[in-house]
Amino acid sequence: MSEKHDRGAPLRRRHPARRNGGDGEHTSKGVRYLVGQARDVKRGESVKFLMPVRGAEEECFVINFRGHLHAYVNRCRHVPMAMDWVDNQFFGEKGRYLMCQTHNAYYEPSNGECIAGPPETCGKMLYRVPLEIENGKIYARPPQEEFED
């Protein structure tokens, strides 16, 4: 099977992320999942993780953009497939934007908006994963919004 064929497979997991949070922690606001230690996500870096979303394991990633942590579902809004053709490489353009390497969609790291790339994708938003930082640990909650694609 060629690399090109591999690349076109929707949501194919070439480098599966780890699941740290077990069954999750039930809180008054619903279930949340442990991602890891905040100090382990350095500026300009990303960490992938798995989290159940409406019954399916979804690969997600947390980034440190200019000292702030954000997380998204690893699903491009152009074609619903993982954005990191090279494992865990989400930042492009010297860390200024997130980039899907398949057709070069660029996303604003702080809010997940597609700002360049395939025209039909521009203006769409990555699915944000709500985060909580508590005692130096990162917790993630499944996004409430339905995936459109």
- Tell me how far apart the alpha carbons of residues 134 and 31 are, in angstroms, rounded to a whole number: 15
Q: By CB under 6 A, what part of segment 5-64 binds ligand FES?
A: none
Q: How many residues bind ligand FES (CB under 6 A)?
A: 10
Q: CB-based burial of residue 28 (10 Å sphere; 0-12 exposed, 13-18 middle, 19+ buried)?
A: exposed
Interior angle at CA 149, CA 13 and CA 32, nearest 5: 65
Residues contacting 27, CB < 8 A, separation 6+: none
Minimum distance, C-beta of residue 95 to ligand FES, in the bound complex (Å): 19
Q: By CB under 6 A, what part of segment 70-129 binds ligand FES?
A: 76, 78-79, 81, 100, 102-103, 105, 117-118
CB closer to ligand FES, 35 vs 76: 76
Minimum distance, C-beta of residue 27 to ligand FES, in the bound complex (Å): 34
The two three-digit tokens of residue 6, written as one number: 């591999």
Q: Which of 126, 131, 60, 130 is nearest to 99 (CA)?
A: 126
Minimum distance, C-beta of residue 129 to ligand FES, in the bound complex (Å): 18
CB closer to ligand FES, 52 vs 92: 92
Interior angle at CA 74, CA 117 and CA 33, nearest 5: 150
CB closer to ligand FES, 85 vs 131: 85
- Tell me how far apart the alpha carbons of residues 108 and 121 are, in angstroms, rounded to a whole number: 13
Minimum distance, C-beta of residue 112 to ligand FES, in the bound complex (Å): 13
Minimum distance, C-beta of residue 63 to ligand FES, in the bound complex (Å): 17
CB closer to ligand FES, 32 vs 77: 77
Chain residues that interact with ligand FES, rule: CB under 6 A: 76, 78-79, 81, 100, 102-103, 105, 117-118
